């Protein structure tokens, strides 16, 4: 087979988008994402920054055009800016976009350098503008630090998209404040439906579940919503608020079927390639990375895995409980 043939899965979906988790660690302990006292992986299990670079480079060689770095919190990994700089050599030469998802806590330190090496946009997770609620949700996070980080990113010329997890009884009362703030600050805003990740207690999870259909209906009560045709290959759908011109996204992995156009795969910080966020099947890329300095075995493993990419996920919130619940934490797979 042609070593450079692009990655196409069995359902004719080209794989052009890779999300890579570079650490399972984080300086926050968001309630929906981690237990307060997490057991983190031994350092030797993690891919080194050099291995991560080889891995990303191999995927780019196989047709990946968009790379999103995530975690854990990517910006707490030591040396991560050197990794960003390395990978940025592919921008304009195979890679169209290099981006990251962050909790924003380290952006004051790193925003200018990220912009300088060619990052154009960052996703910052921010569920509330209330300092007390923020501290309660993130356990260890402090809102002013994140707001400073967002301002630093904007000042550096980065576009900031805010991701907010919709949490019943937590930020439902703040819906319009969040929308207004994002409008004033010129940030796009996407709401994420809470997903059954990790073992954080089924009852709590169902308690927090705020369906985005309800959120959307509330928005429609105040604004004129126009559906936008934009598709990212992921679970996000967008509307425009006609009164303000704002774009609002909805990520509803549980209530919508977005799998037909899925163009993405994920790699964990230990080198497991997950072909679907909602399925357990994965391929170990660390072994071929470590077995040889030559990338042939790595590429073959990637191709064989893509050939098993499933048609779709199995998430389902039933009336009684949660079906398709994943045992791994979001910080492991990378959001
Ligand atoms: N630490 C970074 C951050 O918070 O943006 C990147 C990693 S975090 C796992 C990526 C995204 O996953 C965040 O927007 C977070 O809110 C979201 N997330 C974490 N656990 C989730 C869950 N159970 N359901 C839905 N989204 C979740
Ligand atoms: Fe850390 Fe992000 Fe998970 Fe919060 S959502 S605990 S910031 S990895």
How many Cβ atoms sit within 10 Å of the Cβ of residue 217? 11
The atom number, within ligand 2, closest to the CA of 138 reads 4
10 located within any domain: no
Q: What CATH number is given to the structural domain containing 147?
A: 3.20.20.70
The atom number, within ligand 2, closest to the CA of 27 reads 1
Q: How many residues does the chain have?
A: 335
Which ligand is closest to the CA of 30, given by its number? 2
12 located within any domain: no
Distance CA 159, CA 122 (A): 6
Pocket probe mutation, ligand 2, options 30, 165, 334, max atoms within 8 Å of Cβ: 30
71 located within any domain: yes
Distance CA 248, CA 188 (A): 6
6 located within any domain: no
Residue 244, both tokens: 């303000």
216 located within any domain: yes
How many structural domains comprise the chain?
1
Domain with 211, as residue range(s), is 17-333
Exposed / middle / buried, residue 184 (Cβ in 10 Å: 0-12, 13-18, 19+)? exposed
Q: Determine whether the shortest distance from the Cβ of 335 to ligand 1 is under 6 A.
A: yes
Give the three-state DSSP class for 79: coil
Nearest CA to ligand 1 atom 17: 335
Per-residue pLDDT of the chain (335 residues), as tens digits, is: 566 788 999 988 999 999 999 999 999 999 999 998 999 999 999 999 999 999 999 999 999 999 999 999 999 999 999 999 999 999 999 999 999 999 999 999 999 999 999 999 999 999 999 999 999 999 999 999 999 999 999 999 999 999 999 999 999 999 999 999 999 999 999 999 987 655 555 445 557 889 999 999 999 999 999 999 887 777 889 999 999 999 999 998 765 567 888 899 999 999 999 998 778 899 999 999 999 999 999 999 999 999 998 888 765 544 334 444 555 555 665 55
CA of 30 to the centre of ligand 2 (A): 5
* Contact between 70 and 313 (Cβ < 8 Å): no
75 located within any domain: yes
Residue 215, both tokens: 């959120």
283 located within any domain: yes
Q: Determine whether the shortest distance from the Cβ of 56 to ligand 1 is under 6 A.
A: no
How many Cβ atoms sit within 10 Å of the Cβ of residue 282? 20
3 located within any domain: no
CA of 31 to the centre of ligand 2 (A): 9
Distance CA 285, CA 18 (A): 14
Please give all residues whose beta carbon lies within 6 A of any atom in ligand 2, as ranges.
26, 28-30, 33-34, 71-73, 103, 125, 138, 330-331
Q: What are the start-end ranges of the E strands in 167-317?
A: 188-193, 225-228, 236-241, 247-251, 264-267, 272-274, 282-284, 316-317
Distance CA 213, CA 255 (A): 9
């Amino acid at each position: 087979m042609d070593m450079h043939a692009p990655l196409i899965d069995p359902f004719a979906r080209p794989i052009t988008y890779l999300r890579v988790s570079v650490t399972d660690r984080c300086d926050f302990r968001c309630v929906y994402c981690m237990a307060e006292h997490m057991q983190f992986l031994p350092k030797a299990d993690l891919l080194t920054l050099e291995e991560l670079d080889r891995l990303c480079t191999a995927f780019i060689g196989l047709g990946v055009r968009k790379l999103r770095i995530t975690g854990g919190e990517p910006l707490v990994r030591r040396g991560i800016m050197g990794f960003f700089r390395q990978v940025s050599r592919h921008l304009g030469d195979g890679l169209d976009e290099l981006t990251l998802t962050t909790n924003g806590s380290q952006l004051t330190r790193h925003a200018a350098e990220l912009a300088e090496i060619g990052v154009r946009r960052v996703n910052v997770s921010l569920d509330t503008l209330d300092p007390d609620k923020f501290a309660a949700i993130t356990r260890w996070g402090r809102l002013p630090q994140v707001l400073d980080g967002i301002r630093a990113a904007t000042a550096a010329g980065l576009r900031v998209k805010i991701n907010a997890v919709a949490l019943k009884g937590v930020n439902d009362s703040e819906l319009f404040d969040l929308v207004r703030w994002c409008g004033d600050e010129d940030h796009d805003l996407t709401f994420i439906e809470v997903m059954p990740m990790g073992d954080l207690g089924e009852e709590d999870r169902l308690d927090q579940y705020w369906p985005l259909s309800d959120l959307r209906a509330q928005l429609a009560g105040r604004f004129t919503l126009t559906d936008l045709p934009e598709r990212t290959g992921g679970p996000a759908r967008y509307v425009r608020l006609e009164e303000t011109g704002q774009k609002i996204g909805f990520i509803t992995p549980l209530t919508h079927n977005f799998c037909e156009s899925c163009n993405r795969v994920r790699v964990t910080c230990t080198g497991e390639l997950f072909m679907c966020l909602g399925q357990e099947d994965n391929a170990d890329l660390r072994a071929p990375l470590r077995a040889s300095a030559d990338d042939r075995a790595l590429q073959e493993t990637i191709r064989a895995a893509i050939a098993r990419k499933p048609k779709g996920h199995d998430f389902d919130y039933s009336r009684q409980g949660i079906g398709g619940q994943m045992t791994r934490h979001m910080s492991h797979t990378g959001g």
